[in-house]
Amino acid sequence: MSISIQYTITIVLAHRSAKKFKIATSLAENLSQIRILSENKAFEYSINKKPFKSEIKHMLQTNEVQADISISSDPLRKKKLLICDMDSTLIEQECIDELADFAGVKMLVSKITESAMNGEINFEEALIKRVRLLKNLNISVLKKCFQERITINKGAKVLCQTMKANGAKTAVVSGGFTFFTSKVALACGFDMHSANELISVNGILTGEVKKPILGRTAKLNTLNTLTTDLGGSLSALAIGDGANDLSMIKAAGLGIAYKAKQIVASEAQCEIKYTDLTSALYFQGYSEREFISC
């Protein structure tokens, strides 16, 4: 006797719209199955046959409805660990690119960053090369960079605070730098953070980064360590945008590519492309009324 698997489909519209919400909900075979998560914005429904995301996407696109989609057969959808990348995920920028602008080498550094995030070159080697270009930069520039350039992405604080309120651990793991992760973690309310450490002497960057470098493997190891007492990696929600996030995204029970490079978007369980980080809550079954506003 075969066991019936139930699939939950979550759809989050890019913009709140009664008209487009009605079109999107028509995808459900039975309207009574629909659970509205946010009025005219997000909903979910369950079916017993495996759906094809490509078909759902095609139908939405045909009707000019932009939306992010999650399909889950996980009975334990609300995760016990939130683990997030920082650069281009929790924040809009790549910190090292912005620092490079102060050093007058942003174009060169940005090209290396892009290649590393696309998985075209080794992340650790790329980081060493980019940090070398920051040599002789005064460390006071880090504070100036954070204050003038760094913006936290929409939904980051609500995502963190809502999951914490529901008992989840929260962690930032970044291939960037501890100076920035400490401030972003504090601003959003994350329990812990880890990243790479820039080396300085007498207030001047030496162009070196402390070893070992936190990259793709370290992010995965952090996820595994933090979920040891939570039931394993499937209890985690991992979010990132670059190739160095892919291992933790694929290992997590819910792995989300956030406005990500193609290599990540194509392999992640689901993608946030049109909406913001609160969609990670909808994908777990949270309704908007459960959100903790900040």
- Among all residues, which ones are annotated catalytic? 85, 87
User: Which residues are CB-contacts of 10 (< 8 A; sequence separation ≥ 6)?
Assistant: 37, 42, 43, 44, 69, 70, 71, 72, 282, 283, 285
The C-alpha atoms of residue 54 and residue 46 are separated, in whole angstroms, by 17
The C-alpha atoms of residue 252 and residue 223 are separated, in whole angstroms, by 8
> Using alpha carbons only, what angle is made at residue 10 by residues 8 and 14, rounded to the nearest 5 degrees?
170
